[in-house]
């Protein structure tokens, strides 16, 4: 499974959970005049799941970018030091 399809599945399931929670909340409110505990529980778990999916992916992408930057800086310093030592 490619990274792109994995991310697509994660994002679409997170969005689907939130949308289904909102739809269930509206249905519960307009049919009973009250949002039941089960619907609120489902909505809370959908929001938690969506927050985890979006938050974790953003966190890892940020950390990966920082690590990549540090590695590039380290390697460029090493190359500069080697070229300086060769010229002297």
pLDDT tens-digit readout, 27-55: 999 998 888 899 999 999 999 999 888 88
- For the packed helices 3-32 and 37-87, what is the interaxial angle rounded to 10 degrees? 160
Higher pLDDT, 22 or 6: 22
Average pLDDT, the chain: 85
Whole-number pLDDT of residue 87: 67
Mean pLDDT calculated for residue range 60-73: 81
Determine the average pLDDT of the residues in 1-7. Answer: 75
pTM, 2 dp: 0.62
Q: Check residue 66 and give its pLDDT.
A: 81
Residues 53 and 82: their CA atoms lie apart, in Å, by 43
């Amino acid at each position: 499974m490619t990274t792109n399809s994995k991310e697509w599945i994660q994002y679409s399931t997170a969005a689907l959970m939130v949308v289904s929670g909102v739809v269930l909340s509206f249905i519960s409110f307009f049919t009973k005049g009250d949002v039941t505990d089960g619907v609120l529980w489902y909505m809370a778990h959908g929001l938690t799941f969506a927050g985890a999916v979006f938050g974790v992916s953003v966190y890892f992408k940020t950390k990966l970018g920082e690590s990549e930057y540090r590695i590039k800086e380290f390697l460029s310093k090493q190359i500069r030091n080697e070229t300086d030592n060769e010229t002297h």
